[in-house]
Amino acid sequence: MSDPTTLFIEAIGWLSALLILSAYVLLSTERIQSQSRTYQTMNVIGSAGFIVNSGWNGAIPSAALNVVWCVIGVYALWKIAKRASAAAAASKPE
pTM for this one? 0.89
**75-83 — which CB contacts under 8 Å span 24+ positions?**
76/35, 76/40, 77/37, 77/40, 77/41, 77/44, 80/35, 80/36, 80/37, 80/40
Give the confidence band of 94 by pLDDT, cuts at 50, 70, 90. low
Any idea of the CA torsion for 47, 53, 56, 59, to the nearest 10 degrees?
-70
Question: Over the chain, what is the mean pLDDT?
Answer: 95
- The alpha-carbon radius of gyration of the chain (Å, integer) is 17
Mean pLDDT of 19-32: 98
Give residue 79's pLDDT: 97
Give residue 92's pLDDT: 75
Give residue 90's pLDDT: 83
User: Does the pLDDT value for residue 1 go beyond 60?
Assistant: no
